[in-house]
Amino acid sequence: MVTLLLLAGCVTPSFVPVHSAPIAGGWSAAAVDAVDVKPAAGFALTCMSALGRALSRIDAASTQVVAGLNYQLDLTFSDGSRWRAVVYRNLNGELSLIRATPIRMSEAKP
């Protein structure tokens, strides 16, 4: 299903201001209510809407500086399912869903 979302081209311009400069390379923890995390989660939800679920909460967020910025988001949906989504924001501010995979309990962050 996720592959279909990616093939369908779930990419759209979305301009989100960057207010801090994370260190390039590794993943850094981010606040789930950060000004740039919420739009990334909203974008992931839009792309994953084919799942027919509503977002309950953002459980964890991390960012990674690349040629742009990756957001790794742990999301819980209204049916109790948990997903890990990676959203990429390119240098032009456009967002794209890179992947979305179910989180097994053994993979969940505390």
Q: What is the pLDDT of residues 60-93, one digit of tens each?
A: 999 999 999 999 999 999 888 999 999 999 999 9
Q: How many CB atoms lie within 10 A of CB 2?
A: 19
The predicted model scores a pTM of: 0.73
State residue 50's pLDDT score.
Answer: 73
State residue 20's pLDDT score.
Answer: 54
Class of domain 2-107: alpha beta
Radius of gyration of the chain (CA): 13
Q: What is the pLDDT of residues 8-17, one digit of tens each?
A: 456 554 444 4
Q: What is the pLDDT of residues 8-43, one digit of tens each?
A: 456 554 444 444 555 567 899 999 999 999 999 999
Domain residue extents for the chain: 2-107
Rounded Cα gap, residues 72 and 37, in angstroms: 9
State residue 23's pLDDT score.
Answer: 57
